[in-house]
Chain A
Amino acid sequence: MSRLEVVKTGKLWIGGKWPRSESGATFPVTNPEGEVVARCASASRKDSRDAVEAARSGLGKWRDSTAMLRGQVMYRAAEMLEGRAAELTEALQFGGAGAAAARQEVDASIDRMVMLAGWCDKIHQVLGCQNSVAGPYHCFTIPQPCGVVVAFSPAEPALLSLVTLVGAAMSIGNSVVAVAPPQAGLAAVLLGEVLAVSDVPAGAVNILTGNQKDLVEPLGGHREVAVVVSGGLSKASRVAVRMAAADGIRRVHAVPWTGSAWEDDEETCSPWFLEQFVEFKTLWHPAAS
């Protein structure tokens, strides 16, 4: 006798909690045969505001952790991803990927998280410097986190792009509000579930799923947001983000990669990509009385 399957509804991950969308709206996740295999919460404008507030309160704990600890937490996330590789592979297959390709993307995502984890306590040495100024001063330029980063991830590669954007921002010590489009919804929910059990402090990462276009304006314009990074927004949405971001002089970056370009470890883990999540602070102190 056939058993009636329990269909999961993926929720939003905000401030370490798992609320359903404030509006109650969801969207279906279907397999290539068109059967509904799960549902995901569709984040509203209000959810996006809550996520930013959560990211703001979660920032301090993550930013002020030692770089060593952040690296450990991110490596822990990689371990947990590995443990749920099968489930993640299945989720990517719902999106249409073949079994091998899906598994490959999961492996790449796990490795990506490991690589980014390793940057936490090294990026400062690569991007920072001492400045030889013409006077008796110690003058350093040190990388610091920007604050709250909003990342719009593309539909594909659903998991790898999301891990890249979230991991890169995390490695510097930023807190993140990631917004995955419906096609990537289930993978995003699973990533949230992984991070939730990897000692990531509440609010340091927040994951929303839903229609990105609706959230471009409220997130781009939220004055607590420091950086908006677009991983796959349309040209019109990118312009909308910049228009909204102008009010608070927010940094807006557009990631140039599509499709398999996300697989390039050299590019995606380069310090010149990570630099988009960095603010430089130049410190002077007299070295003579």
Chain B
Amino acid sequence: MLARRAASFTKRSIKADSKRSGLRLAVSMLDLTTLEGADSPELVRALCRRAIAPCPVPPLNPPIPSVAAVCIYPRLVPIVREALAGSSVRVASVATGFPSGQAPLAMRLQDTQAAIEAGADEIDMVISRGAFLAGRCDEVADEVRAVQDVCGDAHLKIILETGELETPDNIRRCADLVIEAASRDRDLGDGQVFVKTSTGKMSPAATMPSVLLLLESVRDHFNATGVRIGVKPAGGIRKAKAALHLLVMVRETVGQDWLTPSLFRIGASSLLDDLVRQLLWTSRGHYAAMHDVAVT
């Protein structure tokens, strides 16, 4: 039933205006990501320029919106901070020993601290999946709260790595666990905390069922507390169609309120190319070549 419900969102036919506005919405929700060892300052600066103005010349009217954030490793935060200065695009840094999260907690907190000090607006943390799978739930809750303390006002996205949790039960329980940990005795604002499916470093990543489970967890938390937790699927989302399916799922699971970058993000890199191509197609009637759009 989970798979069936998740698949049902992919059956919605998104055409015409709803497609145009959906594509733009998806762009505005992007955490444009690069997490490669080979990332050079030059490449990252190019990425930041695309993040601010995703559409190459000539621009569409109205212009394609900026993405929500650029997501990089901590060491690149200063460069990105500078490249995005004056724009609405936020600086998101992975941290806490990303992607494995295997380092001792002290080092992971240090990693986070460095990213914050360098100017990250948002931290994407990984949890200790091993601890969760071994049943040491308190350990996971404690590390979430410790990272939260370091983050201060910076928004926190908690990566579950759903592919490693494997079962729907695990994913749902883990989402409930981290949301509860992050909310316990804290006065969270809407979107201050996100749950995120994956690091993008393993497969499967953001499958439709795994995202649905996070949305259901967030929905139930909202029904119980009135606080809106954000959701971020990441990993393996490459096509505009997949992004639209995600928006459909958000709309029909948690409702229109979540259809904003402050509550829903999509972590991806090449997805932006396809979103822009599709937007160009919807306005110009012919498909753009990859070299028209992929200008990083």
Contact = CB atoms under 8 A, between A and B. Distances in A.
Q: Touching in the complex, A and B, CB below 8 A?
A: yes
A260 interface: no
Interface in A236-289: 286, 288-289
Contacts of A289: 2-3, 167-169
B224 interface: no
B1 interface: yes
B104 to A, nearest CB: 34
A4 B168 CA distance: 83
Nearest to B167: A289
Interface residues of A, number: 3
B209 to A, nearest CB: 8
Contacts of B167: 289
A217 to B, nearest CB: 48
A289 B2 CA distance: 7
Contacts of B1: 286
Nearest to A286: B1
B161 to A, nearest CB: 18
A11 B87 CA distance: 100
Interface string B1-17: 11100000000000000
Interface string A79-106: 0000000000000000000000000000
A288 B168 CA distance: 11
A286 B168 CA distance: 14
Contacts of B169: 289
B231 to A, nearest CB: 20
A288 B7 CA distance: 14
Contacts of A286: 1
A136 to B, nearest CB: 8
B3 to A, nearest CB: 7
A286 to B, nearest CB: 7
A288 B1 CA distance: 9
A289 B170 CA distance: 12
Nearest to B166: A289
A285 to B, nearest CB: 12
Contacts of B168: 289
A142 B168 CA distance: 30
Contacts of A288: 3
Nearest to B1: A286
A288 B169 CA distance: 13
A288 B167 CA distance: 10
Nearest to B169: A289
A137 to B, nearest CB: 11
Nearest to A289: B168
A289 B168 CA distance: 7
A166 to B, nearest CB: 45
Interface in A176-194: none
Interface string B191-232: 000000000000000000000000000000000000000000
Interface of A: 286, 288-289
Interface of B: 1-3, 167-169
Closest 7 CB pairs of A and B: A289-B168, A289-B167, A289-B2, A288-B3, A286-B1, A289-B3, A289-B169
